[in-house]
Structure 1
Amino acid sequence: MANEVSPALALLIDGDNVSPKIVDGLLAEIATYGTTSVKRIYGDWTKPNLDGWKNCLLEHSIQPVQQFAYTTGKNATDGAMIIDAMDLLYTGRFSGFCIASSDSDFVRLAARIREQGVAVYGFGERKTPRPFITACEKFVYFDVLSPPDADQSATQKAPPAEPARKVKLDKPALDMLGKAINATVEDDGWAKLSGVGSHLAKQAPDFDARNFGFQRLTDLVQASGIAEVTRDGENATIVRVRLKGKGASVSASRKA
């Protein structure tokens, strides 16, 4: 709808744990969830390790927040992020928070924000502790954000870049997909792919088709070998799936 208001989001970046190379992909991903009304990055800007951020911050209008490291071995940046996040939460202006960090210190923050009925989208490296991942409604790994290469001239001649990481659809992933289809199947034995995707996100916030080398969940389902895919509705925009063979009959009988 033309008058539909995009959800307002707050983006908080832990400068000690994020590289400026992923910011283009990060902001593009966040744009699919809503409009980023607040963009802040936290760190001790007197340290040389953050020098590479300057041009990126100017280009994307990200506000740097200075936080001195008061003592060795203690991360004051995390504390500043948490305080600001709670201040922003209490304004009631935001539908979601985007936290870019691979640090487990934000587990309780993510849980507290969600207790308020506000979505939390997490972004981090593969080493991110599991508790922080599961505390988020959705978690996306940095390496699937497909940042553009620094050498643009090379990429113009090269074929389209494939996702950064390819992982085989193993048994746990297939089992999770099968359970999601079974859990959302309708009376006719088919499940809407949108419902399957929502159920997968509830099971595992980091379940993402891009983690397995696919751009869309539709492609992953088709390649899985355990489900059929069909399209309905005007312009075939509604994607529906069902398990093949025994799985499909079990789904239908469960609804009978």
Structure 2
Amino acid sequence: MVNPRIIAKIESEEPTLRLAVLIDADNAQASVIDGLLKEVASFGEATVKRIYGDFTSPASSQWKKVLNQYAIKPVQQFAYTTGKNATDSTLIIDAMDLLYTRRFDGFCLVSSDSDFTGLALRIREEGLTIVGFGEQKTPDAFRNACHKFIFTEYLRPTVQAPEVSPSLIVPAKQKIDVIQSQSQSSETKQPENKQSFAKKFPREFIVEALENSYDHTGWAHLGTFGSYLLKLQPDFDSRLYGFKKLSDLVKTRTDVFQTTERTIPGTDTKVLYIKVR
């Protein structure tokens, strides 16, 4: 079952989780740390931030520059022998120690290594939220062991646009036309430096998930729909298809969805319901 507080995050409700963030320095890049911690903050508070690796190794030099800046506690682990990864064992032991303190609502595991699949499953068995972060190469076993899995390629800094010569400035009317054109083709819209990360909109999967989320009225609450998507595919993320939030995706893709808003009885709050067009 997907933790309801993960579903709350889908529509940017206030974060509530107390999280332990554990980073495998051997299988994560320092360039993603800023975006990664911002993503963690959207789920809750990172009360523990630890990174594991051999920081005497040249391969970990990139991490040394950011540890103090982001208040991440390094856990030094020398390699016992060539070809064996002692870092994984240390991280897993620490994770279990933290788990048994009962002070946390969830864990964020940052690695592309399938060796952490068993740890993720064990944390889930305790009823805690598990959020995974890793590259696209991360094996399905680890992705699916998490309640939510986020690709770190998306978290890398964007390339700053070059300065534009005044002679090349586009008139306002043309800008509007361009924006409208881009909106119509939002399925393929991606940041320039993330073209290789673009994914084709999974229409068949989306429609099937939505049809299985309907209530007795033939409509699906957006939160119920989002919950079902994550149960089927923990690495589903509307940002992969050019939309910041799931609600933006369903409102924009009018070729797939019909939407309506309902007022919660006794309040002025409106909630979004959707169905297949």
* TM-score between the two structures when normalised by the length of structure 2: 0.78
Q: Contact 1:22 / 1:147 at 8 angstroms: preserved in 2?
A: yes
Amino acid of the structure 2 residue aligned with 1:215: K
In structure 1, runs of 5+ residues without a counterpart are 245-256
Deviation at 1:110, TM superposition (A): 0.4
Instruction: Give 2:230's aligned amino acid.
Output: A
Superposed displacement of residue 193, structure 1 = 1.1
In structure 2, C-alpha distance between the alignment counterparts of 1:50 and 1:146, rounded to whole Å: 18
Match for residue 218 of structure 1? 247
Alignment of 1:167 with 2:199, yes or no, is yes
Map of 1:180 onto structure 2: 209
Corresponding position of 1:88: 98
Q: 1:125 aligns with which of 135, 141, 149?
A: 135
Q: Return the offset for 1:201.
A: 0.3
Q: Which residue of 2 aligns with 1:243?
A: 276
Q: Where do 1:127-146 residues align within 5 Å? A: 127-146=137-156
Give the count of matched residue pairs: 232
Distance 1:188 1:33, change over 3 A: same
Q: Deviations over 1:138-195 (max 9, x none)?
A: 000011224355xxxx45858xx838332121xxx22221222222212322211111
CA distance in 1, matches of 2:113, 2:142: 8
Residue number among 163, 185, 193 corresponding to 2:222 in the alignment: 193
Q: Is the 8 A contact 2:49 2:71 kept in 1?
A: yes
Deviation larger for 66-75 or 5-14: 5-14
Counting only pairs closer than 5 Å after superposition, residues 15-164 of structure 1 correspond to structure 2 as 15-149=25-159, 154-155=160-161, 162=191, 164=194
For residues 248 and 226 of structure 2, what CA distance do their matches in structure 1 show? 13
**Residue 9 of structure 1: SS of its match in structure 2?**
strand
SS for the counterpart of 2:204 is helix
Give the Cα–Cα distance (whole angstroms) in 2 for the partners of residues 131 and 75 of structure 1.
19
**Structure 1 counterpart of 2:218, one-letter code:** G
- Structure 1 position 214, deviation (Å): 2.1
Query: Matched residues in 1 for 2:249 and 2:237: separation?
Result: 9
In structure 1, C-alpha distance between the alignment counterparts of 2:191 and 2:45, rounded to whole Å: 27
* Structure 2 residue aligned with 1:231: 261
* TM-score after normalising by structure 1: 0.84
Deviations 1:53-85 (A, max 9, x none): 123111110000000011111100000000000
Percentage of identical aligned residues: 46
RMSD, matched Cα: 2.2
Quote the Cα distance in structure 2 between the aligned partners of 1:231 and 1:52: 48
**Residue 17 of structure 1 contacts residue 102 of structure 1 at CA under 8 Å; is this kept in 2?**
yes
**d(CA) in 1 for partners of 2:219, 2:69:** 46
For residues 232-254 of structure 1, the C-alpha deviation after alignment (integer angstroms, 9 at most, x for no partner) is 3377752211111xxxxxxxxxx
What's the secondary structure of 1:210's corresponding residue?
A: helix
The unaligned stretches of length 5 or more in structure 2 are 1-13, 165-189
Is this contact kept in 2: 1:23–1:147, CA < 8 A?
no
Of structures 1 and 2, the one scoring higher in RCO (CA 8 A, sep 6+) is 2
